[in-house]
Amino acid sequence: MPFTSASVMSPEGSSSSLGPADHGSLLDTCERALGRARGFQRPILASWSRPLDVGDPVSVWSRARRSTQRSFLWQSPWDGGSLVAIGSARALRGRGEHRVRAVRDGWRTLVKDLVTGGVAATGLPVGEGPLAIGGFSFRAEDAYETGRLPDALMWVPALQIRSAVPAPGAEGRPVPAELRLNAVLLHDSDPEQVADNLVHLARLCLTPDPDADTERRKRRDRPGRTCHSTELPGAEAWKGLVRGATDRIRAGEFEKVVLAREVRVTASAPFDLPAAVERMSGANPGTTVFAVDHEEYTFLGATPEYLVQVGDRTVHALGLAGTTPRGATPEQDEACERELVGSAKIQHEHEVVVSMLRDALADSCTDVTAETPPQVVKLANVQHLSTKVRGRLAEDSTAGVLDLVEALHPTPALGGHPRAQALSWLADNEGLDRSWYAGVVGWADRSGQGQFAVAIRSALLDGPTASLYAGCGLVADSDPEAEYAETCAKLRPMMSALGIE
């Protein structure tokens, strides 16, 4: 494919271009990677970058995702940054009990002899260079493939755009960002073809398409779709599982278990995923908004919970456990909050999670602290108890974010406590393929920094079919009716985002 200049334009019209000098620098990076691949006789990752201005990340993702079967959107409330990733330069997979470790080892091997080029952007949030992006399922499925999302899938995107936090008063205008193009070269790769393909991908992804944007707006104005919903399991059967779980807790088999259920929706037309992402962002401030495209599936959500984030050797984890509804009036809302804070049951459920996080971080961190008392996080439909746990990686620690994901996932907030006994009961009784619901989604860089969110308030979509998930923590005196009502409240934000009445 002959090289042609690729315009890199924001939707608002600010532009720069990948001109001949950029192409030459990218080609040089690929040629150096080829030389190293031949010398070392193994695949070598080449990563080239340049600063650019970019508009709304959701618009960029919406346009760019049409060119590939694998894409990633991430909007972080922790540092305000955004990430759009398109295509795949290299996939990192794992299965079974050690799936996180397999991905971590593959990532470390891949970046060991990384070849870089271009100019890195400044002023971006934590994270540098090419990223590994993706996620992990709730549980390891050693015995079989579910046919939906893999146990563990992270990948290096062919194109990634990391955006900084918009300046105050700069809404709607382009923000500083970094374009990064990645490729893995083998001993027989053609570096010029690799460079041309990456430039072509950048042109497809970043050049505005007014016709497509117009069609996207028209789709939103069309009459609503019809939907048919099925609860898995049915309401009464699920309440029976709650009673069975509390019986086992009172018998001393475990202290807490988190029981989930699924609502499967079949619509008369495919769901408008960019519109759903925009609704999630607008209706759920303070949450991590994510969308993962993998082949025919899209997994998306707006989660209030993160598992772990690592930056500059500081580690943050979050205990989010204990839930009550929002009130219809300020007075009712305050009453619900008092019930949340004053409930011995909820306080105990929350402390189980926080204690586990403290203990897990202590293995690799010093100065581990947990804020007290727990804070109340208010979302659109529910409110939670929340405790931030913080530590500093020890001087002799080589742990990175993926090591901490392996140590922490799943926390008692997602599985139960003790972990082994709770997960065993779920495997025998829940009867549900959670897929990546209650798993983790996020990114890692080559130095061990990264961010991973707990994938709740989420849905897995395949064209006109959506699986929505919600769960709740059960202890000895949990009431089936109240727990079922809690799951209904947790399902509501995703139903609203997808336009499901």
* Distance of alpha carbon 487 from alpha carbon 501, whole angstroms: 16
CB atoms within 10 A of CB 345: 14
> Between β-strands 44-54 and 115-118, what pairing exists: parallel, antiparallel or unpaired?
parallel
**Residue 378 annotated to the active site:** no
Q: Which helix (H) or strand (E) holds 276?
A: helix 273-283
What the block records as the tokens of 480 is 């089936």
Residue closest to 315 by CA, chosen among 363, 347, 377, 351: 363
* Distance of alpha carbon 485 from alpha carbon 491, whole angstroms: 10
What the block records as the tokens of 235 is 């309401």
> Residue 397: is it exposed, middle or buried by C-beta count within 10 angstroms (0-12/13-18/19+)?
middle
Cβ–Cβ < 8 Å for 438, 260: yes
> Residue 327: is it exposed, middle or buried by C-beta count within 10 angstroms (0-12/13-18/19+)?
middle
* Distance of alpha carbon 13 from alpha carbon 398, whole angstroms: 44
Distances (CA, A) of 22 to 33, 90, 195, 256, 480: 17, 23, 10, 56, 62
Choosing from 262, 305, 430, 483, the catalytic residue is: 305
10-37: b (≥16 Cβ within 10 Å) or e: bbeeeebebeeebbebbbbbbbbbbebb
**Residue 305 annotated to the active site:** yes
Q: Radius of gyration of the chain from Cα atoms?
A: 23
**291 - beta bridge partners?**
73, 300
The CA-to-CA distance between both ends of the chain, in Å, stands at: 48
Choosing from 256, 278, 349, 351, the catalytic residue is: 256
Cβ–Cβ < 8 Å for 117, 32: yes
CA atoms within 13 A on the CB side of 115: 21
Which residue's structure tokens are 């260079």? 129
* Distance of alpha carbon 342 from alpha carbon 334, whole angstroms: 12
What the block records as the tokens of 287 is 């949450």
Question: How far is residue 390 CA from its own chain's centroid?
Answer: 21
* Distance of alpha carbon 190 from alpha carbon 117, whole angstroms: 17
Residue closest to 444 by CA, chosen among 169, 193, 155: 155
**Residue 206 CB partners (closer than 8 Å, separation 6+):** 6, 7, 8, 9, 54, 60, 64, 179
**57 - beta bridge partners?**
none
User: Would you name the residues annotated as active-site residues?
Assistant: 256, 305
